[in-house]
């Protein structure tokens, strides 16, 4: 397959995943804001609208809110740019490309929320875990793929495996 087609498909995949994240956040805001949490699977899985004005796990809560948002926007933008470069440098759609695409889609989903709303909409609640969204799921799965690909857990192409032996 031509490199331009592969890159086009990767961009479409990232845009589609980020779009799904954006659509679910829009629906969560419309249906869950100012409403009590909705049980999906008993107390295990609930839908609960939360506006996250910090990073994951509240890592920057010690910063003043006026300082926090510009720092998060700058770092998240640089991270998304680095991920886009890594993705577009791939010559094939492999495990690495899938990992970069998922992380980039999640990063763009949360970045667009911060740009448009000033915060990230989270709405999926599990016991003993911070509330999260689809973008966070994309990031987690993508990072997992990248880790597994680098540790040799996932099979590599035969030529790559033989070259390293």
Catalytic center residues: 122, 136
Please name the residue that has the structure tokens 């609208």. 49
Q: What are the start-end ranges of the E strands in the chain?
A: 38-41, 45-52, 120-125
Q: How many CB atoms lie within 10 A of CB 9?
A: 14
Q: At what angle do helices 134-151 and 3-32 cross, to 10 degrees?
A: 140
Separation in Å, CA 38 to CA 35, 48, 76, 123, 133: 8, 7, 31, 10, 15
């Amino acid at each position: 397959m031509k490199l331009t087609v592969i890159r086009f498909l990767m961009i479409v995949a990232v845009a589609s995943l980020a779009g799904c994240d954006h659509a679910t956040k829009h629906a969560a805001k419309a249906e869950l804001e100012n409403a009590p949490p909705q049980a999906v699977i008993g107390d295990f899985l609930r839908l609960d609208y939360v506006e996250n004005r910090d990073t994951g796990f509240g890592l920057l809560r010690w910063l003043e809110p006026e300082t926090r948002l510009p720092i998060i926007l700058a770092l998240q933008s640089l991270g998304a740019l680095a991920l886009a470069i890594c993705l577009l440098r791939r010559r094939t759609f492999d495990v690495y490309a899938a990992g970069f695409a998922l992380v980039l889609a999640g990063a763009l989903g949360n970045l667009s929320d911060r740009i448009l709303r000033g915060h990230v909409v989270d709405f999926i609640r599990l016991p003993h875990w911070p509330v999260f969204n689809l973008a966070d799921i994309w990031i987690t799965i993508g990072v997992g793929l990248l880790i597994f690909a680098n540790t040799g857990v996932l099979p590599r192409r035969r030529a790559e495996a033989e070259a390293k032996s």
